[in-house]
Amino acid sequence: MDTKVQMYNQIHAALTAAGFTKTRSIATQSILDAKIEANLQRRLRYFNYKTQGVSAKPKRRSGVMGRPSEKNFRFYVYATILRAWVSEFGLVPKVHKNNFAHHPFVRLIRALLYPRGNTKLQHHLEQFFAYRRQEIKNNCTFLQKT
């Protein structure tokens, strides 16, 4: 497990390499806080409505339940990185399959999250942008046609 200082230096170096200048310190701190919060939430036990701790494997189910989904934690970190990107450059990145590996936003995410072992980056980013697009479509009334 990386210490907070090591994580801060890693994030700061990745943002510097990505070209952040104006909001680098604020972005570094917000991404660090998001990564720490996601790591803390991963370790919490499951709780039922009676507020008793429940293990990941329910007693009524036979067999192994498997790992819980980390989709929400990934989306939280991706949203924080996207917010930092938009505040620095003023544009939402358009990531396509053609320019995926060479896009600066993808290189930034790869530098921040691959040391933690996150793979399937293209699949996860496609899921995140599809979810984001759907939420904007459903929740932004000014974008809907009347």
Alpha carbon of residue 102 to chain centroid? 19
Q: Quick one: pLDDT at residue 27? A: 93
Show me where the domains of the chain are located. Answer: 4-141
> Which of 80, 69, 75 has the alpha carbon at shortest distance from 27?
80
d(CA 114, CA 77): 13
Contact call for residues 122 and 105 (beta carbons, < 8 A):
no
As averages over each run of 10 residues, the pLDDT of the chain (146 residues) reads 83 92 92 89 63 55 61 88 92 81 86 74 87 86 58
Quote the pLDDT of residue 2.
Answer: 65
Q: Bridge partners of 13?
A: none
pLDDT confidence of residue 146: 45
